[in-house]
Structure 1
Amino acid sequence: MPKYDIQIKHKAKPTNLLSSLSGFYGLTIDDKFKDILQRFNLPPHQFYPVNVTHRKVQLSYYWFHFVNSFLDYIDFTSSVFETFTLTPFNILNEFKVSSIKQLHALEREANFEKSIRPRALVLKENFPGYDIISLSNVAPLTLV
């Protein structure tokens, strides 16, 4: 059972979705957001309680953890990726890869001046139609 504690700054306003913590893939959500999510077609997941404190008051939050990877549902040969620079923002090139292994090898070659991100992800026919997915192995994205 994972455990982490969050203390919201005194001047901050608690929201339904808190910024994710480093090292935790998924979403940090309150009871209301959890209830909404449970109405949809969710992938295998787990809700873990999170200790959240704001102005010395304990709030009810959960870490919505995606149990499995979605890599098996991505058609890498049909998807398109791009290399870009942030300062100034500029798309350098578009390319395709044959696998996540090839994509990670290209990411390791990138440096602080350029990055790689998906431009168009294509899902395979066997995708179960989930209403939310995490692409943490491909990019820091959660798609709804």
Structure 2
Amino acid sequence: MLRAATDDDVDLIRQLRNQQANRDVSITSHEIGADEHAAWWAKASVDPTRRVLIYVRDGVTAGVVNFFDLDGPTGSWGFFLDADGLAERGETLPAWIEVMREATSYGFDELGLDLLTGEVLEHNTVVRQMNRRFRFVEGAAEQRGAVTVIPISLRSEDRRQRH
């Protein structure tokens, strides 16, 4: 289940984002401090082109989904999971599949997007494979400092549908 993030979620969002597993696959990999995070939330929570959602699995917060640059029929997204908690419970793969399914459905069905874009680090082969499973198409890689970033995109008509 996805629900809108609130002020009550801010500390947990930062804790999840700062998990080492999430930092290892993020373009911005430093540990995010309280002040930096508070400044981000102050902007994100009132930005009409952004949605910050909490992914809840079996009643437990299990991740965060960000939609941003929402501009009519297009938007970008990204997410991170409670890597530590899900691994401890043996739920990483099912949660990952579920959050991708729910988030893409939200983007296309709730937000009415025709095109959903995002980015993945070149070395993150597991995420790249999952993206392909969900029919995301990779664009040309680009170098950003020390990391290589690959843009991804999915058109509404190309997405996997539940049967």
Same fold? TM cut 0.5: no
Identify the structure with the greater helix proportion: 2
Higher RCO (CA 8 Å, separation ≥ 6 residues)? 1
Q: TM-score, normalised by structure 1?
A: 0.28
Quick check: which has more Rg, 1 or 2?
1
Identify the structure with the greater strand proportion: 1
